[in-house]
Amino acid sequence: MTKIGILIFHQVEEMDFVAPFEVLSYINKIEVNSSQVVLIAEKLELIQAYNGMKIFPDHSFGTCPNLDILIVPGGKGRLDAMHNPKIKEFVLHQSKQAQYIASVCTGAFILAEAGLLEGKKTTTYHSAFAELQTYNILTIEKAKVVRDGNIITSAGVTSGLELGFYILKILFGSILAKEVANKIEYIVDIDAL
């Protein structure tokens, strides 16, 4: 079973974490016990997202197991999260053994602050390209999903869907990723991802 963790924090953008959560969890309806997707926050306390959704995490940093994949969303709350030393420490700890570290939208800044995007191809929300360029990034690409080694970044808010399908494709293959897309009635060119 692939262990996938999605970081959440106050003022996180809902679509940034809900979209990959839905896609990466849905595989279990086709291939039982394929993935375990959990929400992780610094503390086990109620998190209020940017548009008002309230979420309780599955794990705190202290109780989170080693993950195969860590996904870091963005949103207005990233402005505080990217400078939180405990978040940086958690991301770096997970990056040492995780197969992939991924971001959605402006979650890329949390990865950049942790030094994980240095010298890498990447993407983020289109209006944040100039800000991200202030880090030691190789290139910022105008694409929904960009992979450089074990770092995967995705562009805007809804790109969390494409990120989810991209991860399904590399973990379980195109056929299963296409089946999930069909089941949730989302039109995406899996082969182009």
pLDDT at 149 over 90: yes
Decide if 124 contacts 133 (C-beta within 8 A): no
pTM: 0.96
Domains located in the chain, CATH noted: 2-192 (3.40.50.880)
Evaluate whether 68 touches 35 at the Cβ level (below 8 Å).
no
Q: Return the residue matching tokens 């202290």.
A: 62
* pLDDT, tens digit, 9 for 90 and up, residues 169-188: 999 999 999 999 999 999 99
The full DSSP string for 40-70 is EESSSS-EE-TTS-EE--SEETTTPPP-SEE
